[in-house]
Amino acid sequence: MPDGNQSLTVTVLSAIAEIGAEEWDGCAGSHNPFIRHAFLLAMEHSGSATAQTGWTPRHLAVRDAEGRLLAAAPLYLKSHSFGEYVFDWSWAQAYERAGGRYYPKLQCAVPFTPVTGPRLLVRPGEDGPRLRRVLAASMVDLARRLGASSVHVTFPSGQEYEGLGEVGYLQRLGSQYHWSNQGYQSFDDFLGQLSSRKRKQIRKERDAVARSGVRITTLVGTEVKSRHWDVFHAFYESVVDRKWGRAYVNRAFFEELSASNLAEAVVLVWAEDDGEPLGAAFNMLGKDTLYGRTWGGGRHVDFLHFEACYYRALDFAIAHGLARVEAGAQGEHKVSRGYLPTPTYSAHWIADAALAEPVARYLAHERAQVAEDMADQTEEGPFRKA
């Protein structure tokens, strides 16, 4: 698929295994683990993100005349909207009520992973703006060739979001709750920045878990064994059954991850009582960020979820000098625990103007509302007022 400039060729890959890890990671970089070749390969090899689950790989690779990979994008042909965390169900329903066909669509994303990071991957030293425009145009071209209704780029960087808006993609603003390390030397340093009421509440919650007798350890990399994944995945499926009803990631994914060059990025907070596993929080470690991904729990213990998912993540970040903890999607309860609203982004190209125009009007209103909500939540946050 040429992009109009004969010095570049854009190829569509039907599996991430069709490209070498060194080539892909040369564009993806090493800061964000989720866009690394090993993570995407684990998703596909395990059967978690495949045509059978509605995630048909259609990754893009941009090469120069000598065959060097200059840019790439993780891309999937989707037959549904599960596992994306930027919800477009109402768009699909409205379009289909009007006689349109919303699926298939193209999704530029990391499957089941609502984490901000680069999506239009460019090798350092190359013409980033130009190559990102090539990728944006190639996704639209591929959508037309495949008869897809739309292209959706979810959780891109702010720079990519602005660039996609400049070439005609509709822009959507969202928010998550992230913790920022202000140079804290200890958890008590962090608590010292909170209001008295919030500080006392967090101490009460942590003390309750400590008194319960639950033993909590933080396992990193090869300290996580197959037996841990066996228990964790069973807990994960149990939580999914209670709350959402659909497990996106299978047991094999975690084994693939532990066997890859991303094994050392795995951080598992493990809780047990007298040898009985009670729950675990699965995290991934980036260059300067700890990403909270998934909680799996069995028998209920008061405040154990907060301790394992939020407070132990802060302990780890402070001890390792990390800049941020991203605690995943949703959850306004995170604000009172020091995780403040942070903007997230997505960009959307819709082929049919009859759908694109009302969506554009809706997104303009939604952006204003999200910005207002983030400002209000930050103002009402747990930190002491100056």
Residues 63-103 have pLDDT tens digits of 999 999 999 999 999 999 999 999 999 999 999 999 999 99
The CATH number of the domain holding residue 124 is: 3.40.630.30
Query: What percent of the chain is modeled with pLDDT above 90?
Result: 90
**Whether residue 209 sits in one domain with residue 140:** no
**Whether residue 169 sits in one domain with residue 186:** no
**Whether residue 121 sits in one domain with residue 46:** yes
How does pLDDT run across 226-274, given as a tens digit for each residue? 999 999 999 988 876 565 557 789 999 999 999 999 999 999 999 999 9
**Whether residue 136 sits in one domain with residue 20:** yes
DSSP run (H or E) holding 292 = strand 289-297
Per-residue confidence (pLDDT) for residue 237, from 0 to 100: 87
- Asked, for residue 384, whether it belongs to a domain, the answer is no
**Whether residue 59 sits in one domain with residue 186:** no
Q: What is the mean pLDDT of residues 344-356?
A: 98
- Asked, for residue 386, whether it belongs to a domain, the answer is no
- Asked, for residue 338, whether it belongs to a domain, the answer is no
Per-residue confidence (pLDDT) for residue 3, from 0 to 100: 47
Per-residue confidence (pLDDT) for residue 247, from 0 to 100: 74
- Asked, for residue 368, whether it belongs to a domain, the answer is yes
**Whether residue 289 sits in one domain with residue 365:** no
Number of domains in the chain: 2
Q: Which of 363, 369, 361 is nearest to 347 (CA)?
A: 363
Per-residue confidence (pLDDT) for residue 299, from 0 to 100: 84
- Asked, for residue 336, whether it belongs to a domain, the answer is no
Per-residue confidence (pLDDT) for residue 311, from 0 to 100: 97
Helical segments of 98-146, H only = 128-146
**Whether residue 199 sits in one domain with residue 146:** no
Per-residue confidence (pLDDT) for residue 297, from 0 to 100: 85
**Whether residue 367 sits in one domain with residue 292:** no
Q: Which residues have CB under 8 Å from 14's CB, separation 6+?
A: 56, 57, 58
**Whether residue 252 sits in one domain with residue 111:** no
- Asked, for residue 82, whether it belongs to a domain, the answer is yes
Average pLDDT score, the chain: 95
Question: Mind spelling out the 3-state secondary structure of 36-102?
Answer: CHHHHHHHHHCCCCCHHHCEEECEEEEEECCCCEEEEECEEEECCCCCCCCCCHHHHHHHHHCCCCC
- Asked, for residue 294, whether it belongs to a domain, the answer is yes
Residue 296 predicted with pLDDT over 60: yes
**Whether residue 364 sits in one domain with residue 281:** no
Interatomic CA distance for residues 284 and 203, integer angstroms: 26
CB 42 within 8 A of CB 256: yes
Per-residue confidence (pLDDT) for residue 242, from 0 to 100: 61
Q: Which residues have CB under 8 Å from 43's CB, separation 6+?
A: 49, 55, 111, 112, 249, 253
Per-residue confidence (pLDDT) for residue 241, from 0 to 100: 59
Name the residue range of residue 115's domain: 8-175+343-379
| Banded model confidence at residue 2, pLDDT cuts 50, 70, 90 | very low
How does pLDDT run across 193-228, given as a tens digit for each residue? 999 999 999 999 999 999 999 999 999 999 999 999
Buried-exposed string 44-56: b where 16+ CB fall within 10 A, e elsewhere: bbbebbbeebbbb
**Whether residue 186 sits in one domain with residue 171:** no
Residue 62 predicted with pLDDT over 90: yes
CB 339 within 8 A of CB 310: yes
**Whether residue 81 sits in one domain with residue 141:** yes
How does pLDDT run across 129-158, given as a tens digit for each residue? 999 999 999 999 999 999 999 999 999 999
Helical segments of 244-311, H only = 251-258, 304-306
- Asked, for residue 37, whether it belongs to a domain, the answer is yes
Q: Which of 200, 272, 259 is nearest to 232 (CA)?
A: 272
Interatomic CA distance for residues 104 and 304, integer angstroms: 41
